Amino acid sequence: MTMKILTLDLKRSLKSTLIWSIALGLSLFFVIIIYPLFKDMMDAINVVIEQLESLDIAFLDFIDTFGGIPTNGVEYFATEGAMFMQIAAGMFASLLGFSIINKEDREKTSEMLFTLPIERSSYLLEKMISVFIQIVLFMVIQLGVIAVGFAIVAPNENITSLFVFGFFDGLMLLMIAYLAMGLGLLMKPGASTLFPLIIPIPLYIITTIAYATDNDTLRLVRFLSPFTFAEPVGFLKDQHDFEWLNFGIFGLLTLVVIILSFIAFKKREIV
């Protein structure tokens, strides 16, 4: 491997990755910065709930469906920042993964790149490494912004769990990106760049529905979405057991898609 394709791809994609990273990072920063205001409000609500002895338990369950009332900064971030981060980052990862195939087809540069003396498997691998680096960069920026935000407004808050969550969230983004790459290989060159959003948006909704219901059968659909093992409220607030089965299913699925992608890419025609 010469890493020339990797260098070229990083050079070409860095600006858009930084725009995504900074835009989402700033949004998360503002969410964290207003935490002191929110904390006062949360304390007041908790006092009200304690005083209302006749409050219907169903109402509290309803509030729990949306993350419940946070008791500290990490829980606040789980409900107000991380859930938003999940869907935005999922969209970014799917667009990035889809672009491995779609970008060169769309710009019609694949004809020149595929006539270079480089094995197609090396070409694809270098593109995949480029996506890996960009997602790591993206997550490092998000976690960096989160750390700075908490250092300003709640310096004593223990945010270790946020970094563990960030690690698994990064893995989930890689899975989404490589699934989108596989989708790109199935599509014709002229496919819309927004097409890969078909992956994160429905999957995110599946996880949301699974966690919002009491119905045990319906809750099983959570295994159909990689957002489940990195679901922020369960991870950071309710401290659910890690969904190893869901993690395993999507880890395996991603691996299969990557292998099939290498096979399909080797035989891909330029029409």
Partner 1 sequence: MIHVLHAKKYYGSTRGIEDVSLHVLPGEIFGFVGPNGSGKTTLIRAMLGLLALNDGEISIFNEPIYVGKQYHFKDIGYMPSEAFFFNEMKVKSILSFFKSMQDVDESYLQRLIHDLDLDIEKKFGSLSFGNKKKVGIVVALMHQPKLLILDEPTSGLDPLMQHVFLDLILEQKRLGKTIFLSSHVLSEIEKVCDRVALIKEGNILFIRNMEDIRKEESKRIIIWPNHQSMSLDGLTYLKDDVGCSHYSYQGDINRLTQYLSSYHLMDVVIRNIDLEELFSVYYEKGE
Q: Which is nearer to partner 1, 186 or 198 (CB)?
A: 186
Short-list 196, 234, 250, 222, CA closest to 78 = 234
Q: Which long-range contacts does 13-21 make (Cβ < 8 Å, 24+ apart)?
A: 13/96, 13/99, 13/130, 13/134, 14/134, 17/96, 17/134, 17/137, 17/138, 18/141, 20/92, 20/138, 21/137, 21/138, 21/141, 21/142
Q: Which is nearer to partner 1, 57 or 267 (CB)?
A: 267
Q: Interface with partner 1 by CB under 8 A: which range of 114-122, 184-192, 209-217, 222-230?
A: 114-122
61 binds partner 1 per the rule CB under 8 A: no
Smallest distance from partner 1 to CB 245, Å: 37
Alpha-carbon dihedral angle through residues 212, 213, 218, 224, given to the nearest 10 degrees: 10
**Residue among 39, 120, 219, 240 that touches partner 1 (CB under 8 A):** 120
Smallest distance from partner 1 to CB 129, Å: 17
114 binds partner 1 per the rule CB under 8 A: yes
187 binds partner 1 per the rule CB under 8 A: no
**Residue among 1, 2, 22, 30 that touches partner 1 (CB under 8 A):** 2
- The mark string for 7-46 relative to partner 1 (x by CB under 8 A, - otherwise) is -x--xx----------------------------------
HSE-CB at 135 with a 13 A cutoff on CA atoms is: 29
268 binds partner 1 per the rule CB under 8 A: yes
**Residue among 54, 58, 112, 190 that touches partner 1 (CB under 8 A):** 112
Smallest distance from partner 1 to CB 215, Å: 47
Q: Interface with partner 1 by CB under 8 A: which range of 17-25, 57-65, 83-91, 101-109?
A: 101-109
117 binds partner 1 per the rule CB under 8 A: yes
1 binds partner 1 per the rule CB under 8 A: no
- The mark string for 143-172 relative to partner 1 (x by CB under 8 A, - otherwise) is ------------------------------
Site residues (vs partner 1, CB under 8 A) = 2, 4, 8, 11-12, 107-109, 111-112, 114-120, 266-271
